[in-house]
Amino acid sequence: METYKIVDRLNLEAESIEKSTPLKMLTIAEEAYELAVSVNYQRGIAKSSLLQGRAHLRLGNMQDSESFLTSALEYNKSDLDLEAEIFNALGNVYVYLEIFDKAYDYYQRSLNLAIKTNNKTVESRVLNNVGAIFRTLGDFESALSYYQKSLETQEEIADFRFTSIPLSNLCEIYLDLHDLDNASLYASRALMIAQKDNDKMIQSVCNSYLGLIEKNRGHFDKALSYFNDSLVIYDETKERFHVAEIYIEFSKVYFETKNYKTAMEFLQKSSAVAEEIDAKSLQYSIYQQMSEVNQAIGNIDLTLLYAHKALETKKSMEDEEKQQKLRNIKFRKEAALTEKEKESYRILNAELELQTKQLREAYSTLKAVSDIGKQLTSTLDLPIIYKSVNQHIQNLMPCDVFGIALFNETNNTIEYQYLMEDDILLESTALLLDQKTSFAVYCFKNAEAFIVNSINEDTSKYTDGRSSSFGKAMPAFMFQPLILHGKTIGVLTVQSKIENVYSNNTLSTLGTISSYLSIAISNAKNAEDMQSLNKELSLLSKKDGLTGIFNKRFFNEIIAQLWSYAMRNQEPLSVLMIDIDYFKQYNDLYGHLSGDEALKTIAVLIEKNVKRSCDVVARFGGDEFVVLLSNTDRLGALQVADSIMTSIRDEGIVNEGSCMSPYLTVSIGCATMIPQVDSTPEQLIEKSDLSLYRAKETGRNSVSLH
């Protein structure tokens, strides 16, 4: 029995430090577990397994967390309070993994047990966690309701602990709603309680929220101070995921203040942490931010690189989600439950049954919405995306009119890209943003979702008068803004000929779909832009930045191809190596800007004298050019070289730094080979280089032929 007491004491010690040092909590819980196993103390094994599972959850080790919590269920025999805690922790694991059907299933079991045993602490936690699910789904009204219930339930207990959790979540909701005053109020209250309770995690979260509030108010110094306080605490608790999140917030502040170098440094720090813990969702956000920073700097190469990485990471995330997310959202039938679980489910009051029914309906809708998200992220074809959304919405809600309008920055309009009425595709319609009779314009300009359910409903809040921009005006309709990264990119509308068919739930569903649609539209447009930029970049990568002719890298690629062709056909290939005489002296005398202009002029003159499309002119070095002549023998190469030399000499570019001519001149080395199996392009280049050396040694301003 003495050993049992030691196990209980260790478990109590581990639980007491959960909020401050989860890594140490894990170590103590492991010690308790080993001791409990040694004496076959079942409840001690179950409790220490629960604590190890919760510690791994805080440390971001989801697979280990689920394993320990499942083990805790197996060892727990009769303690309903402990079982409620285990179910709640399992729900948290699946919320983290965004598998919401399983999360809700576990929360429901935990809530039933908490009500049965009158365990207000667990009941408050579960209500808070259900609120978090609604927040994730974008139903802020329901989320607020559950958070308030959680707070009220917790306040029924004399102990002030744990009230910081629903308070901090209320802050987060008001942040989402851009209500900074309420957000600040709840964050400050939660922080004060978390400090009393030594809850490091909530302290760090509240500091980060206060930082976001100050950032939104434009108080960047205050924001950085709060972020730094949050970071210090996260470093103490070893919560690597949240450390990476704070680094991102630092970078956003520095980005807004145009300190791009520091913004990039914090993003690189965040990226290192995200890679270490394999957090793809973070890495995706980081790559997007890195692309934006480099775009602001003007570095197109890195902009494209990080945009590519973001798309690749997004695809990887989608592949993983196919395996673990978007599962059938349903409850396990009562027959599949153990006898103990059945007993836990029998005692339900009327309110709880109603909540269950409502949430089942919500998750049935979520299944359909998840399918939409899956399909939308699997294609980059906009017409297919639009058609798919329309077909799915027809199955989810009354829909006689369906429309997607996107912002056209050039014309300052929103244009319907896809407009269906009674299954007929209508012509596109553009709406000027100064219109005061358009619901779509109001939705776009105010980034506000709304429902109108009746022809008699007062709509003066939205428009001056009630009319339709196309077809017959519908009595019931919903509008949702399409928002991406805080910026409105368009609107989505669903309309019905029947009155009073829409509710806050259908509007929320439409809002979730609009989020998926915004991402899909962005991905499709990014892919189009990327394809265009890649073509441009591919061309630029072949060109010399100064002269506009091909560069050495492209020359090396093309000579290898033409070499193979010439070998097959046994045709001669010639190379002219061209060097500007006394160019260093020219630069020293006239300056590098004049030198650059001279290089540009000479490049143009060389191209004028190399007239066939199958021939290549490239800049080979600083003041060195190279010409590749296909199917050209020695005589032909010599003629082209003489023509180039004469053209440059006749241009009369004054060079008083030359000791042989008052004008710029060139020396040219020619070489010709018929490629053989045992020869290489490099040998031809070396021969032309040797000929150039001879031309310079014999007085310059001449052509030497190998």
Instruction: Specify the pLDDT at position 375.
Output: 62
106: left (phi over 0), alpha (psi -120 to 50) or beta: alpha
Residues 6+ apart with CB under 8 A from 446: 481
Instruction: Specify the pLDDT at position 92.
Output: 87
Q: Are 88 and 110 in contact (CB under 8 A)?
A: yes
Q: Which one-letter DSSP state was computed for residue 143?
A: H
Spacing of C-alpha 677 from chain mean position = 51
- Report how far residue 444's alpha carbon sits from residue 705's, in angstroms, rounded to the nearest whole number: 71
Select from 2.60.40, 3.40.50, 1.10.3470, 1.25.40 the CATH code of 250-328: 1.25.40
176: left (phi over 0), alpha (psi -120 to 50) or beta: alpha
User: Widest CA span of the chain, in angstroms?
Assistant: 107
- Report how far residue 523's alpha carbon sits from residue 373's, in angstroms, rounded to the nearest whole number: 13
Q: If 0-12 CB within 10 Å is exposed, 13-18 middle and 19+ buried, where does residue 576 land?
A: buried
Domain residues of the chain, as ranges?
1-77, 250-328, 385-530, 552-705
Spacing of C-alpha 637 from chain mean position = 55
Instruction: Specify the pLDDT at position 332.
Output: 35
> Is 552-705 the same fold as 1-77?
no
In order of 275, 392, 534, the CA distances from 382 in angstroms are 32, 15, 20
Sign for the CA dihedral angle at 418, 419, 423, 425 comes to: negative
Q: Are 554 and 618 in contact (CB under 8 A)?
A: yes
For residue 55, how many other CB atoms are within 10 A of its CB?
A: 27
Q: If 0-12 CB within 10 Å is exposed, 13-18 middle and 19+ buried, where does residue 154 land?
A: buried
Concatenating the DSSP letter of every residue in 95-119 gives: HHTT-HHHHHHHHHHHHHHHHHHT-
- Report how far residue 249's alpha carbon sits from residue 266's, in angstroms, rounded to the nearest whole number: 9
| CATH 3.30.450.40 holds for 385-530 | yes
Q: Are 637 and 705 in contact (CB under 8 A)?
A: yes
| CATH 3.30.70.1170 holds for 552-705 | no
In order of 161, 208, 209, the CA distances from 193 in angstroms are 7, 16, 15
- Report how far residue 181's alpha carbon sits from residue 203's, in angstroms, rounded to the nearest whole number: 19
**Dihedral angle at the C-alpha atoms of 159, 160, 166, 170, nearest 10 degrees?**
150
> In which residue are the tokens 């697979």 written?
63
Instruction: Specify the pLDDT at position 147.
Output: 84
262: left (phi over 0), alpha (psi -120 to 50) or beta: alpha
Which amino acid does the sequence have at 80? L
Of 314, 318, 231, which is closest to residue 273 (Cα–Cα)?
Answer: 231
Question: What are residue 654's DSSP bridge partners?
Answer: 663
β-bridge pairing 450-452 and 616-619: unpaired
Q: Which one-letter DSSP state was computed for residue 701?
A: S
Q: Are 451 and 414 in contact (CB under 8 A)?
A: no
Q: Are 251 and 264 in contact (CB under 8 A)?
A: yes
Of 495, 461, 460, 501, which is closest to residue 478 (Cα–Cα)?
Answer: 495
For residue 61, how many other CB atoms are within 10 A of its CB?
A: 16
- Report how far residue 698's alpha carbon sits from residue 456's, in angstroms, rounded to the nearest whole number: 98
Q: Are 621 and 637 in contact (CB under 8 A)?
A: no
- Report how far residue 475's alpha carbon sits from residue 473's, in angstroms, rounded to the nearest whole number: 7
* CATH class name, domain 1-77: mainly alpha
Consecutive 10-residue runs of the chain (706 residues): their mean pLDDT? Answer: 86 82 89 92 91 87 86 88 91 81 85 88 86 82 85 73 78 88 89 83 87 92 90 77 86 91 91 82 88 88 85 76 45 37 45 50 56 63 84 87 92 91 86 90 93 90 78 87 88 93 87 82 70 53 85 89 89 95 92 93 94 89 93 94 94 89 94 93 94 92 89
Of 75, 116, 114, 119, which is closest to residue 91 (Cα–Cα)?
Answer: 114
- Report how far residue 307's alpha carbon sits from residue 521's, in angstroms, rounded to the nearest whole number: 15
What is the Cα gyration radius of the chain? 35
